[in-house]
Amino acid sequence: MRITCPLCGTRDRREFYYYGDAVYADRPDAGAVPEAWNDYLHLRDNPAGETRDLWYHEMGCSSWIEVTRNTVTHAILGTRLVSERNSRRDKFVYQEGDLREIKPQATKPEPKGTEE
Amino acid sequence: MRYSGFKVIAEGLGGNKGWKPAWRDPDPKPEYDIIIIGGGGHGLSTAYYLAKNHGLTNIAVLEKGYLGGGNVGRNTTIVRANYFLPGNQEFYSHSLKLWEGLESELNYNVMHSQRGLINLFHSDGQRDAFARRGNAMINQGDDAELLDREGVRRLLPYLDFEQTRFPIYGGLLHRRGGSARHDAVAWGYARGADRRGVDLIQNCEVTGIDIQDGRVTGVQTTRGAIRAKKVGIIVAGRSGQVAAMAGMRLPVESHILQAFVTEGLKPVIDHVVSFGMGHFYISQSDKGGLVFGGDLDFYASYAARGNLPMVEHVMEAGMTLMPMIGKAKVLRSWGGIMDMTPDGSPIIDRTHIDGLFIDCGWNYGGFKAVPASGWCMAHLMATGESHEVARRFRLDRFVTGHLLDEEGTGSQHNLH
Amino acid sequence: MARLIEKTPCEALLPVTCGALTLRELVGDRVTSVAPLRGQKTKLAAALKKLGLAWPEPNRVIAKDRASITWTGRDQAFLIGADPDTLAGLAALTDQTDGWARIRLEGPGAADVLARLVPLDLRAFAPGQAARSQLGHMMMILISPAPGIFDIMVFRSMAATAVHELHHAMKALAARAAV
Ligand SMILES: Cc1cc2nc3c(=O)[nH]c(=O)nc-3n(C[C@H](O)[C@H](O)[C@H](O)COP(=O)(O)OP(=O)(O)OC[C@H]3O[C@@H](n4cnc5c(N)ncnc54)[C@H](O)[C@@H]3O)c2cc1C
Ligand SMILES: [Zn+2]
C-alpha cells in the first residue's frame, strides 16, 4: 500500500501512522452529552468500501493527512492535509436541552495575521 | 462406529467412497424460533448450547460462505485464561474449563493441547506487572507460575537471552494454556448442533433484518426471507455491516490480523511462546509447521490479506527472539478480519430492538472464547438474562464508562 | 568546574570504507530550523535571498557555497552552514546543531546501499532533491548535494545505530558483489 502525502508525494505505507476514522478530527464541544462523546470516541460506520481516515506522516514531514480509501481493495482514492479538511463538527451538535450544565468554554478569537 | 482406525484403512483401500457428510445440508425453512447469523466458532457454539443446555432446536445458523471459513479457521489457536480484569477473568476461566471437557462433550478430536503458554517479560516493571497478573489468575482459580530467567532457559533454551533491546528477565507460565486445531472446533460444534436438529445453512448471506414496531421479525437472505422472533448477530469482522442492517452503529472497527506458517519441521518448540514487546507469538502445530503471528496491520480493512511492513515486522521480531527459526521457510501467510472494540473486550448483549441480540468485539482473542461465548450467548438468547460470567460485556458500557481495557491503551480501536 | 570533552555524534564510529564506498561524518556546520512567522514569508524570502538562498519547495534543497536550506516539513526548513541571525524576527529559529548526526555516503552503488534501508526509489534522486523518510526504523533527512552523494541526518542519539545499519548494508552489498 502506498499513500500520497500532499506535501511529500507518494510514499510507502510504513512511513505513516494510522490513527482512525476521520471523525477524530471532529471533536465535540466540551459540554456535549455523554452520547456525543460515545459517538465520537467509540461508534464507527466501519464501512466495507470507501472510508476516510486520519494518517500521520510520522517518518516523513509530520503532517496529519485525511485519506480517502477503499477498505476492501486497499486502493487509495485521495488525500488532503487535515488542515484543509472541512470540519463536520455539526455532526455532534445536539438538540438544545440535550446539553448538560457545563457550558462550552468561550474560545478566544484567533489572532488575525496577514498571511500572504 | 462412524470413525475408527479400521474404517480409515478400509476406506483407504476402497477409494474413500464410503464417507458420509458429517452434517446435513438442509434448505432453509420459512420460519424458525431462533436464527443465528454467522457460522463461525461463536455462531456454531451458540446454536449447540441453545440445543444442549436449553432444549431449543428449531434453530437455523445462516452462513454466507462455508462453515469455518472465517476467523475460526484462520487464527493461531492460542487458548488461555490469563486475563487480569474482573469481567474478563471469570469469563475466560469458564471458557478454559469448557475447553478441558470439550472433546468428550463433542466426541470430536479438536486436538486441544495444554502444552503451556509462556509470556516473556523484559524489565523489572514488566515482571511486577506479570507477578500481579499471575496472582490475579491464581485468585480466579486458574494456574500461573512466575519464572525467572533460568526458569525460562530450562524450558526454552533456544531463545536469544542476551538481545540488547529486550533481554529476557523471565516469563509467566500458564501450564493449562495451549492450542487446538481451529477448524476442528467449528466442525465439532457443527456436528453436535446438527445432530440435535439445528439447521446449518451455508451459502446463505443475510442481506437485511426485518423489524416491526421495535421487534425483530426475521431476516432477508440470498436464499429468501426467513422469519424468526429471535435473531443473534454473531459475525465477527462483519459485525458493523450486519448491525447496520438493523440501523445500529457499533463500537467496532474492522482490522486485519495476519498469520504465518512454515514448512513442517521436527518438534522443536514445545510450548506457546509469547513475546509481547516484539508483538510476536509462536507455537508448533502437530503437523510440524511453526505457526506464528504478530500485531494488526493497524488500519481499518476488510481485505483478508495484509501488507508487507507487518510481515517484515513479524519476521524481525521472530529473528530477534529465536534466531534458530531463521532458516525455516514460510509456506503461507493469510489474514482475518478482526472486530476491534475501543477497550479490547467483547460484547454479548441484547440490542435496543426486541429479540435482536449481538455477540461481537472479539478482537484477536476470540478463538479461546468460542465455548464460553456460545454458552453465554445461548443463555442470554434463551432466558433473556445475561449469564453471570458475561454480565460486564454490555453494549452500553461505552456510554456509561464501564470499560474493560485489559491493556490500558485507551479508546482507540486498533491499539488493543 | 568539570571540564567536558566535546565529542562529535559519530566520534570513533566513522569513517568507514567498503570497497569504493565511503561513509564519513560531516561536522562543524551550524544547523538551524527555520519556521516562518505568520505573515513574514515575503520578508523571509528576501532575507534568504541575501544569503544566496530561497525558501525551498517540499523535497528540495537549495545550496550556495557552504550554505544550504532543506525543506523538512510543513512550514519548516533546516538552514545548514549559515548564520541565521539575519532571519531573526521573520521566523522561529531553533539551534539544532548538536541534535543531529550528519553522515555522508559516497561512491558507486551508494543508492543500492540505501535501497536496503530506505523506502524510496533513489535511482533518480538528483542534486537539489531532499526527502524526509526513514532509515531502517529511524527518522531521517536525506539530501542529495551532488551526483552519487547522499547526506543523511538522523537524531544524534541514534548515530551508532545508523552507522551500524549503513555499514552492515555496505558490507552486505560488497559481499554480494563478490559472489
Ligand atoms: C490471524 C488470526 C490469529 C488469531 N489468533 C487467535 C489466537 O491465537 N487465540 C484466540 O483466542 N483468538 C485468535 N484470533 C481471533 C479469533 O479467530 C476470532 O476472534 C474468532 O474466531 C471470531 O469469532 P468467530 O469464530 O465466530 O468468527 P468467524 O469465523 O469469522 O465467523 C463469522 C462468520 O459470519 C459469517 N458472516 C458474515 N457476514 C454474514 C452475513 N451477512 N450473513 C451470513 N453470514 C455472515 C462469516 O462468513 C463468518 O463465517 C485470531 C484471528 C486471526 C484472524
Ligand atoms: Zn509528508
**All structural domains of chain C:** 16-27+99-178 (3.30.1360.120), 31-95 (3.30.70)
For residues C125 and C58, the answer to whether their CB atoms sit within 8 Å is: no
- Top-confidence residue, A35 or B230: B230
Q: Which atom of ligand 1 has the smallest separation from the CA of B66?
A: 49
Task: Work out the pLDDT band at A87, boundaries 50, 70, 90.
Answer: low
Determine the pLDDT at residue A97: 39
- Per DSSP, helices labelled H in B262-396 are 308-321, 370-383
ipTM above 0.85, yes or no: yes
C-alpha C119 to ligand 2 mean position (Å): 13
pLDDT tens-digit series, residues B100-145? 999 999 999 999 999 999 999 999 999 999 999 999 999 999 999 9
pLDDT band at B155 (very low <50, low <70, confident <90, very high): very high
Contact B65, B203 (CB under 8 A): yes
Q: Is A75 on the interface with B (CB under 8 A)?
A: no
- Four-CA torsion B292, B298, B300, B301, nearest 10 degrees: -30
For residue C159 the three cell numbers come to 548515530
What is the distance of C-alpha B236 from the center of its chain?
Answer: 9
- Take residue B342 and report the three cell numbers written for it: 475501543
At B178, the pLDDT band (50, 70, 90 cuts) reads: very high
Residues of B in contact with A18 (CB under 8 A): 298-299, 414
Mean pLDDT score of chain B = 96
d(CA B28, CA B227): 10
User: A72 and chain B: CB distance < 8 Å anywhere?
Assistant: yes
d(CA C43, CA B397): 56
State the distance from the centre of ligand 2 to the C-alpha of A59, rounded, in angstroms.
8
Residues B335 and A71: their CA atoms lie apart, in Å, by 14
Residue B245 has pLDDT above 70, yes or no: yes
The DSSP H or E segment spanning B187 is helix B182-195
**Cis-peptide into B346, omega within 30 deg:** no
For residue B139, give how far its alpha carbon lies from the nearest alpha carbon of chain A (Å).
32
DSSP label at B409? -
Rounded alpha-carbon distances, angstroms, from residue A37 to A27, A29, A30, B182: 8, 9, 9, 38
- Report the atom number in ligand 1 closest to the C-alpha of B221: 42
Residues of B with Cβ-Cβ distance to A19 under 8 angstroms: 412
Partner residue facing C134 (CB), from A59, A62, A115: A59
Cβ-defined contact of A38 to B399 (cutoff 8 Å): yes
Chains touching chain C through at least 3 C-beta pairs below 8 angstroms are A
All three cell numbers of B141: 482459580
d(CA C71, CA B79): 51
Split at pLDDT 50, 70, 90, the class of B1 is low
Q: What is the 3-state secondary structure (H, E, C) of C7-71?
A: CCCCCCCCCEEECCEEEEECCCCCEEEEEECCCCHHHHHHHHHHCCCCCCCCCEEEEECCEEEEE
Looking at residue A89, what is its pLDDT? Answer: 52
- Pocket of ligand 1, candidates B110, B235, B242: which has the most ligand atoms within 8 Å of its Cβ, to mutate? B235
Confidence of residue A30 (pLDDT cuts 50, 70, 90): confident
Tens-binned pLDDT, residue by residue, of chain C (179 aa): 789 999 999 999 999 999 999 999 999 999 999 999 999 999 999 999 999 999 999 999 999 999 999 999 999 999 999 999 999 999 999 999 999 999 999 999 999 999 999 999 998 899 999 999 999 999 999 999 999 999 999 999 999 999 999 999 999 999 998 88
Number of neighbouring beta carbons within 10 Å of residue A21: 20
Comparing alpha-carbon positions, the chain A residue that sits nearest to B240 is: A46
pLDDT of B2 higher than 90: no
* Cβ <8 Å between B253 and A51: no
pLDDT for position B4: 87
What does the pLDDT look like over B51-88, one tens digit per residue? 999 999 999 999 999 999 999 999 999 999 999 999 99
Question: What span, in angstroms and rounded, lies between the C-alpha atoms of B22 and C129?
Answer: 65
Inter-chain CB proximity C133 and A60 less than 8 Å: yes
Specify the CATH number for A2-28+43-101; select among 3.40.50.970, 3.30.230.10, 3.30.2270.10, 3.30.9.10. Answer: 3.30.2270.10
Tell me: the pLDDT tens digits for C130-141?
Answer: 999 999 999 999
| C-proximal residues of A, 14-53, CB under 8 Å | 14-15
Mutate to test the interface with C, among A4, A79, A116 (most CBs of C within 10 A): A116
Sign of CA dihedral C41, C43, C46, C47: negative
| Rounded Cα distance, B91 and B101, in Å | 16
Nearest-5° angle of CA B328, CA B313, CA C150?
Answer: 110
| Nearest residue to A59 (alpha-carbon basis) of A11, A18, A16, A1 | A16
The residue length of chain C stands at 179
